[in-house]
């Protein structure tokens, strides 16, 4: 009997594994079709300057509500499926195209719009040229586009990526190091990256002001940024107390639910105060549409 139970356990286990593999396969299949159909969207989240209350930038975040899967799929899940399919480059390029298109069609003076780009895409020597061409074709000033680079990039410190970053700076786009303080990037790496902004990770911000170590990371980050002449953006700010700690430490730009959640493009444009509240052109929120 014991042997039989053991057998059942094993078959339950293999069944669960098979189920998981099938789910992943369905996700990959749905994603491949969604990329083909340009079904993925960007939602927008504002950054606020605490000194004067102005809009200090906007981050575009990937959103996918799959009709086929019947659910929203989180960016991390999208990215790992895209990696399994070898389609990260394609995904990043759809995001780039859509962001440039949003900037080109912005009602009023466009803000600086940030997109997230994967390390593998930054390996590609053609990427900077593609960015330049996309901006040029849409007549968008390069300074309006910001590229957020993943924090783990700072660790890898790869020559090919450095070349792309330098080329992107030559194109004139803004570069931001995302998730700073989330774990890996040592200061020696960071100071060599040609970035204009550091985004202080939510895991640090969440512990302000009670946690002494988080406060120390904040102070050290501000000192580093001052030394490099770059701006710090506090990420994932949810409370007034967190905003106050950041402001007092000299971090004047924040992003997070305290200000606003990421929103569909139409809702974002409608939330802008006058004089930016001009009639928005009819547009879809599809990544890379048109």
Which residue number, 56 or 95, has a Cβ lying nearer to ligand C2E?
A: 95
The rounded distance, in Å, linking the Cα atoms of 147 and 176 is 6
Instruction: Say whether residue 179 binds ligand C2E (CB under 6 A).
Output: yes
Contacting ligand C2E (CB under 6 A), which of 47, 101, 116, 285?
116
97 close to 110: Cβ distance less than 8 angstroms = no
Footprint of ligand C2E on 126-145 (CB under 6 A):
none
Q: Which one of residues 116, 118, 164, 242 is an interface residue with Mg ion (CB under 5 A)? A: 116
Cα(94)–Cα(100) distance, integer angstroms? 10
Beta strands in 67-169 (DSSP E): 71-73, 113-116, 145-149
The answer to the question of residue 92 lying near Mg ion (CB under 5 A) is no
CA distance 218 to 279: 40
**Of 130-138, 158-166, 208-216, 254-262: span binding ligand C2E (CB under 6 A):** 254-262
Helix runs in 116-205, H state only: 119-122, 127-137, 153-156, 159-171, 187-192, 202-205
Interaction of residue 151 with Mg ion, rule CB under 5 A: no
Cα separation, 45 vs 58, whole angstroms: 6
Residue 276 burial (CB < 10 Å; 0-12/13-18/19+)? middle
Q: Which of 47, 66, 101, 118: binder of ligand C2E (CB under 6 A)?
A: 118
Does residue 87 contact residue 120 with C-beta atoms inside 8 Å?
A: no
Stretch that binds ligand C2E, among 18-26, 111-119, 213-221, 276-284 (CB under 6 A): 111-119
Q: Is the dihedral of CA 205, 209, 154, 46 positive or negative?
A: positive
Residues 6+ apart with CB under 8 A from 33: 39, 68
Q: Which of 32, 55, 69, 79 binds ligand C2E (CB under 6 A)?
A: 79
Among 41, 92, 178, 231, binds Mg ion (CB under 5 A): 178
Report in angstroms how near the CB of residue 158 gets to ligand C2E at its nearest.
17
Residue among 157, 238, 263, 266 that touches ligand C2E (CB under 6 A): 238
Q: Choose between 6 and 209: whose C-beta lies nearer to ligand C2E.
A: 209
Query: Should residue 148 be labelled a site residue for Mg ion when binding is judged by CB under 5 A?
Result: yes
Q: Is 146 in the site for Mg ion (CB under 5 A)?
A: no
The CB-of-270 to Mg ion minimum distance in angstroms stands at 23
Q: Is 96 in the site for ligand C2E (CB under 6 A)?
A: no
209 contacts 237 by C-beta, under 8 angstroms? no
Interface contacts to ligand C2E, rule CB under 6 A:
45, 61-62, 74-76, 79, 92, 95, 116-118, 148, 178-179, 202, 235-238, 256-257, 262
Interface contacts to Mg ion, rule CB under 5 A:
116, 148, 178-179, 235
């Amino acid at each position: 009997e014991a042997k039989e139970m053991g057998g059942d356990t094993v078959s339950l286990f293999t069944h669960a594994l098979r189920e998981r593999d099938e789910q992943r396969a369905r996700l990959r299949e749905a994603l491949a079709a969604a990329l083909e159909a340009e079904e993925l969207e960007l939602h927008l989240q504002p950054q606020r300057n605490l000194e004067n209350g102005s809009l200090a930038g906007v981050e575009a975040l990937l959103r996918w509500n799959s009709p086929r899967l019947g659910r929203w799929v989180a960016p991390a899940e999208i990215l790992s499926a895209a990696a399994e399919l070898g389609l990260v480059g394609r995904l990043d390029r759809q995001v780039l195209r859509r962001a440039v298109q949003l900037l080109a069609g912005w009602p009023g003076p466009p803000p600086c719009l940030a997109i997230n780009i994967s390390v593998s895409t930054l390996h590609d020597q053609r990427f900077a040229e593609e960015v330049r061409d996309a901006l040029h074709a849409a007549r968008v000033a390069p300074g309006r586009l910001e590229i957020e680079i993943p924090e783990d990039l700072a660790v890898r410190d790869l020559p090919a990526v450095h070349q792309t970053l330098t080329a992107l700076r030559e194109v004139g786009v803004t570069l931001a190091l995302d998730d700073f303080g989330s774990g890996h990037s040592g200061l020696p790496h960071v100071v060599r990256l040609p970035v204009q902004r550091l985004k202080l990770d939510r895991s640090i911000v969440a512990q302000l002001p009670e946690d002494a170590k988080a406060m120390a990371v904040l102070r050290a980050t501000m000192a580093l940024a001052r030394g490099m002449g770059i701006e710090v953006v506090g990420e994932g700010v949810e409370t007034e107390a967190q905003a106050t700690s950041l402001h007092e430490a000299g971090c004047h730009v924040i992003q997070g639910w305290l200000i606003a959640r990421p929103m569909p493009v139409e809702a974002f444009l409608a939330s802008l105060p006058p004089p930016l509240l001009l009639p928005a052109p009819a547009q879809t929120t599809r990544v890379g549409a048109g």
